């Protein structure tokens, strides 16, 4: 039973000592602002990661060729020519596979007119862009017949387009990659950063046959360093991983006790663990900020105890004219809750303001959700009740005679 009078009285009591009320609320204000800001930054980081994951393409495996040991020096994954394009074709036949694309990568210098630019050249098949869910902005992807005949055609990323062409339309122009002329058939849409912070738009795609024969050369034609495999769904991934392992071991004639000469990585799982990490990090940020909320709550408790002592006589009078312990308790609880909620309101505004400022000054990603604000208010109300309870109870349990005699 919280009536209008009680609210009015709590308001009057808060107004009776404005400076003290303001300073007490300041603790709450800072605590809530910190929580709102930290949650906004945490949510922003999570959304960034999520966007990166989505931009990577979903349900992806990467199959790497195995390592070799030459003269006791282990060369690392992808060094041995154990994985072939026909391995990829065999994998494409497995149930649960949506698409497979071979990847043969290298770095090369690009030239167009007076401009030049060094970037990663990725040799692959036309379906690579679908597999990575990466739309073409202008032009069209190269075709299977381009792959068959190792044509010199290229799809370029946004960063490359900007650096070589500026504002010009690159489609239909000829660029030089390692001195070889390549026709630009299309420009990829903008992708932004990958999870590890690389610029995904700084790339050029060419048919893998062209990459092997005309650009980088290889002692093992048909062998690739890696294959990108996309499963039809996330649920299909664990079973597919097993099927691929079995298939490749069989194709590579490996004995059951032999080490595999390839590696399969589940990129989606990696991405998910990364998302989990940012989630935990933002939770941690929130938890640290909550400590200041706790300190704010203790400030309220402190001032409520002072207030109860100061108003002992008033409490005595109220009891003498018929206030029950619960009336007195409610009065002081309400005051504590109002103080913490008012502090919360200002804190939310301050926190949102700081988040907007952080965004415009430091380009930090911030996301303010209604959920975080509602949560802040609930926590503030709870802090008010929790820290107001002891002082309110102390007031409610006063002996009327002793309280009336208090000077």
Partner 1 sequence: MPDRSAVIRVERLSKHYETPAGPFPVLKEIDLTVQRGEFVAVMGPSGSGKSTFMNILGCLDRPSSGGYWLDGEDVNGLDVDQRAGLRNRTIGFVFQGFNLLPRMTLTDNVALPLVYAGLARKERDGRAVRVLERVGLGSYVGSYPNRISGGQQQRVAIARALVNDPRLILADEPTGNLDSHTSEEIMALFGELNAGGITVVLVTHEPDIAAHARRLVRFLDGRIVHDGPVGQGREAGR
Helices (H), ranges, 127-254: 128-131, 144-148, 158-165, 208-210, 237-251
Pair type for strands 97-112 and 115-124? antiparallel
CB nearer to partner 1: give 5 or 19.
Answer: 5
Whole-number minimum distance, CB 2 to partner 1, in Å?
12
Whole-number minimum distance, CB 395 to partner 1, in Å?
14
CB nearer to partner 1: give 108 or 323.
Answer: 323
Q: Could you tell me the two tokens for 275?
A: 């998302």
Whole-number minimum distance, CB 356 to partner 1, in Å?
40
Chain residues binding partner 1 by CB under 8 A are: 3-5, 12, 16, 313-314, 316-327, 400-401, 404
Whole-number minimum distance, CB 396 to partner 1, in Å?
10
CB nearer to partner 1: give 382 or 404.
Answer: 404
Q: Could you tell me the two tokens for 21?
A: 């009320």
Whole-number minimum distance, CB 342 to partner 1, in Å?
19
Q: How many CB atoms lie within 10 A of CB 57?
A: 20
Q: Across the chain, which distance is largest between two alpha carbons, in Å?
A: 104
Q: Could you tell me the two tokens for 125?
A: 């098949």
Identify the three-state secondary structure at position 174: strand
Whole-number minimum distance, CB 291 to partner 1, in Å?
36
Q: Could you tell me the two tokens for 297?
A: 């709550």
Candidates 170, 174, 205; CA nearest to 191 is 205
Whole-number minimum distance, CB 320 to partner 1, in Å?
6
CB nearer to partner 1: give 321 or 361.
Answer: 321
CB nearer to partner 1: give 140 or 401.
Answer: 401
Whole-number minimum distance, CB 325 to partner 1, in Å?
6
Is the dihedral angle over the CA atoms 290, 291, 293, 297 positive or is it negative? positive
CB nearer to partner 1: give 20 or 239.
Answer: 20
CB nearer to partner 1: give 183 or 317.
Answer: 317
Hey, which bits of 140-190 come out as E strands?
153-156, 174-177, 180-188
CB nearer to partner 1: give 356 or 401.
Answer: 401
For 222: left if phi > 0, alpha if psi spans -120 to 50, otherwise beta; the answer is left
For 274: left if phi > 0, alpha if psi spans -120 to 50, otherwise beta; the answer is alpha
Give Cα 4 to chain centroid, integer Å: 46
């Amino acid at each position: 039973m919280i009536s209008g009078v009680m609210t009015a009285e709590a308001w009057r009591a808060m107004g009776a000592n404005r400076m003290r009320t303001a300073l007490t609320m300041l603790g709450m204000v800072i605590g809530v602002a910190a929580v709102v800001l930290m949650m906004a930054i945490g949510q922003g980081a999570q959304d960034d990661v999520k966007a990166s994951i989505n931009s990577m393409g979903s349900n992806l495996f990467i199959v790497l060729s195995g390592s070799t040991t030459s003269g006791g020096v282990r060369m690392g994954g992808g060094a041995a020519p154990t994985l072939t394009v026909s391995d990829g074709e065999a994998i494409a036949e497995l149930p649960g596979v949506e698409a497979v694309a071979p990847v043969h990568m290298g770095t090369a210098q690009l030239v167009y007119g007076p401009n030049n630019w060094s970037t990663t050249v990725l040799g692959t098949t036309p379906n690579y862009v679908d597999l990575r869910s990466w739309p073409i902005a202008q032009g069209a992807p190269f075709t299977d017949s381009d792959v068959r005949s190792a044509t010199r055609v290229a799809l370029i990323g946004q960063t490359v387009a900007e650096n070589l062409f500026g504002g010009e339309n690159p489609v239909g122009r000829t660029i030089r990659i390692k001195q070889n002329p390549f026709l630009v058939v299309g420009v990829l849409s903008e992708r932004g950063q990958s999870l590890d912070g690389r610029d995904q738009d700084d790339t050029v795609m060419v048919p893998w046959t062209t990459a092997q024969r005309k650009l980088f050369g290889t002692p093992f034609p048909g062998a690739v360093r890696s294959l990108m495999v996309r499963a039809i769904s996330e649920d299909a991934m664990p079973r597919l991983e097993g099927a691929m392992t079995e298939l490749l071991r069989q194709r590579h004639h490996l004995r059951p006790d032999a080490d595999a000469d390839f590696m399969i990585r589940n990129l989606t799982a990696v991405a998910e663990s990364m998302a989990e990490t940012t989630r935990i990090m933002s939770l941690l940020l929130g938890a640290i900020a909550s400590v200041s909320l706790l300190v704010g709550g203790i400030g309220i408790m402190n001032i409520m105890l002072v207030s109860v002592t100061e108003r002992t006589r008033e409490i005595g009078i109220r009891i003498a004219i018929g206030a029950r312990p619960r009336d007195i308790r409610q009065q002081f609880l309400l005051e504590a809750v109002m103080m913490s909620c008012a502090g919360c309101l200002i804190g939310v505004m301050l926190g949102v303001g700081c988040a907007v400022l952080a965004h415009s000054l430091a380009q930090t990603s911030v996301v303010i959700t209604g959920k975080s604000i509602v949560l802040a208010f609930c926590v503030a109300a709870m802090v008010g009740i929790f820290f107001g309870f002891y002082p309110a109870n102390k007031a409610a349990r006063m002996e009327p005679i002793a309280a009336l005699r208090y000077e």
